[in-house]
Each structure stands twice: as structure tokens, then as C-alpha cells.
Structure 1
Amino acid sequence: MGDEIVGIDDGTGEQVRRAAAGDEAALCALLDAHRDRLKRMVRLRLSRRLAGRVDDSDVLQEAFAEVARRLPEYAREPRLPPSLWLRHLTALKLAEVHRRHLGTQLRDADREVTLHRGGLPPADGATLAAQLLGTLSTPSQAAIKAETRLLVQEALNAMDMVDREVLALKHFEQLSTAEVAKVLGLSKAGAGSRYIRAIRRLRAILEQIPGFDAF
């Protein structure tokens, strides 16, 4: 197992090995390749109560320091593809940040986490609604946004938590169906069917909003 980086056939495994051996350029390239995706995840899940105190760059800086420290261990025995391992460590760091600043009772940061079991701050309805309605930008659309935010938020909160997480992971974090399944401990078929169900429910609401292009 230690000789092969899980789920990699594009040369990233070699990049991981070089980075783990102390190649700074390889480490920077690895982190840069995943920075935008990890930043989306942090923005989606960072508590609004921390606005002005902590931002996504702060969390990523801490997470990347942890990545550099633990990369040799990961390269010896990789259990996740690099993309999901990086996301996992970033998730743990985000949980630590919440606990540090808010006193949130989260799981031990050294344990494996799955989102629907409470290891990582979930994507709540308010945050997802803000992301969705953030695409409305004209004055008339802004009024629509103010009037419909609660409707969308309530619809999202009414979803099964796993369905909502599947929606957050696939649509907002842009993970593949296979990655969503691995993160949540679902089968690939199960993750796909839950995403389709969540999208259909949400689209039915969004299509009632004038000027909103439902996804």
C-alpha cells in the first residue's frame, strides 16, 4: 500500500512522494492545485459568527502547515486519494478553529470524520441559501433575494441532512459522485440518487423565483 498513492494515475502520486521527501516546489504545486477547492469548502462551512475574526485564508494556512507535517506519514500509508486527504485535514483544522473560537463541542480532531456524523461543521440552510441567491445581482433581483431567502433556507433545512450534505459536496464543493460517496460512507449509486433527489426538490422551489436561472 505504501508504494502506491490511492486513486492516482495522473502523476500526482509522484508529486506527493517528492513533497513528502522535502521537495518544496512539489509541495507548493500540490497545495496550489487544490487550494481553490479547499477554499470553497471552508467558505461554505466557516461559521458566520466568526466573520471578521477568521477567514478562509487563515484556516488554509493552518491546514497547509498540518499537511506539510503529516505528508511523510501519508505517503507511507495512503488510505485516501490526495484530494480527499487534503480535504480531510482541512476539515479537521476547520473543526479545531470552531472549537477554539466558539467552544463548539466537536469530535476529537485526530479521529476520522464523516460529515453526516458531526465531525465537520455542516453546511446549513442559511449558508447554502446565501450561496444560491448570491447569483441574483440586479436591484430587482436583490429585492427578490431578500423576499425569498427564508423560503429557500427553510426548504434546505427541511431536507434530510445527508441529502443536504450531498448537495453541498457535489454542487458547491464540486466533488465527484465517487468522492461524495467516499466522504459520506455511501455507495456511489446511493450518493448519485440522493443528489438527484435533492436537486429536484430544490429546483422546484428555485423555478418559482422570477429571474433566477435554476441549476
Structure 2
Amino acid sequence: MDSLCEQNTAVAWGSYRSPREAFEAVVRTHMKDAYFIALGLVGNREDALELSQEAFYRAYKHFDQLNDQERFFPWFYQILRNLCFSHLRKRRLRRAESLDELDSEPPQFGPADAFDPEMVAERNESKDRVWRAISRLDEKHREVIVLRHFRQLSYDEMARVLFCNRGTVTSRLYYARQRLKEILEGSPETDGFADGSADELRKGGQRV
């Protein structure tokens, strides 16, 4: 599987008849990642779909300004995250509101053998607790959890996307995990999430 930040290198701008065709190829490459990142940030399926579509629309308007193909996703991510966090601030979401409208099960995009319906059904309650805990993190700590545990970005990829160094990523992720442990203290899923498993979340948004 190609890394998220490198997937778009397969798109050769010159091989398409128009910028529109090239952009459509980029959308096909990143649409699932964009949706699930937005879902992780705002916690609402309809909002995530709308915001990811709006991010692609805004990116298309300025697509001709992008000269470096390999920088597409970090550039696009800034558009997406700004839309998501602006959305949250404008609505003044309450602590648990990010879960109230979230369907009990995110759409599945992974291979058939990567998803166990019985396991997910058994973990619905614990999954909701994790979602609620994530919704209580501040912006910079929520996004590192989403990028690492939802989309499985490497530390170096996260540094590229967030325009910071690896040490900053490590520090933010450590703090975010510690904060989640505090919120979920005493629950059986805490340790699993803190060490990177978070099966109930990854299987809902597994990269393919």
C-alpha cells in the first residue's frame, strides 16, 4: 500500500488532457481518506461528507497554483482541516454533540475479511466511549489521533501534513494518548487505543 502522502505521485499531470481530468484522478485517490479524516474531526457523517466535498471544490479552484505533485495532500489537508475546525467553532458544539448524529457504524471500505460485524456489534458501546473521548480533545491533539489511528500515517507523513517536525508530532501524540487515557480511565479499551490498536475505529475507516 502506498503511503497517503505519496499516492498522488502516480498521477502524472501531463498525461491528462486537462487540469480537470488530472484533478478528478486526484479526487479518486484521496476521496476516502478525506471523508474519514473529516469524520474523525467533526464526528458526523453528513457533515464529514459535505466538508470533504467542499474541500475538494476549494482545492479545484486553486489547483492550477499547485506545481509540486508530491505536495498535494499536505496542501489539501490544510484546506480540509480549516473547514472542519471552522465548522466546529461556528456551531459551538457541546462536548458530546459530535456523537449525537453519528451513525452507530461508519461505512466500510476495507476488504471483506478485514471487517467482523459481530465484533463491531459487541464493541458499539466502547466505540462510542472512544468517540466521545476524542471529541473532548483540542484541535491539534484530535487531529494527530485521527491521522495516526484512523488513517495510519507514519510519524514522518504526519510531520509533512502538519508542517511541523517529527518531535512535535511525537509530543502531540503522546499528550493526546495520555489525555484519552485520563478520559477513559478504568475502561477496558483504554490501553488498546493508547498503544495504537483501536480496532473498532480502524476497521470503520481502513485505508485500502
Same fold (TM over 0.5): yes
- Relative contact order (C-alpha < 8 Å, sep 6+): which is higher? 2
Matches within 5 A, 1:25-174: 25-46=21-42, 48=44, 54-75=46-67, 78=68, 81-94=71-84, 98=87, 104=90, 127=98, 136-138=120-122, 141-142=123-124, 145=126, 149=129, 153=132, 157=136, 162-174=140-152
Give 1:95 shift. Answer: 5.4
- In terms of Rg, which structure is larger? 1
Q: Structure 1 pair 16/136, CA: closer, same or farther in 2 (3 Å)? A: same
Structure 1 residue ranges without an equivalent (≥5): 1-7, 106-120
- 2:78 counterpart letter in structure 1: H
What secondary structure, in the 3-state scheme, does the structure 1 residue paired with 2:90 have?
A: coil
Q: Deviation digits for residues 58-111 of structure 1, max 9, x if unmatched?
A: 333332222222111122xx4971111122233344456x3xxx8829xxxxxx
Residues 41-67 of structure 1 deviation map (CA, whole Å, 9 limit, x = unaligned): 11122365xx7xx53333333322222
2:13 and 2:96 mapped to 1: Cα distance?
36
* Identical amino acids, percent of aligned pairs: 22
Which amino acid is 1:55 matched to? D
Alpha-carbon RMSD across the aligned residues, in angstroms, is 4.7
Q: What is the aligned residue count?
A: 173
TM-score, length-scaled by structure 1: 0.54
1:103–1:11 Cα change, 3 Å? closer
Checking the alignment, whether the CA contact within 8 Å between 1:63 and 1:90 is kept in structure 2 is: yes
Which sections of structure 2, spanning at least 5 residues, go unmatched?
Answer: 106-118, 198-208
2:173 counterpart residue number:
195
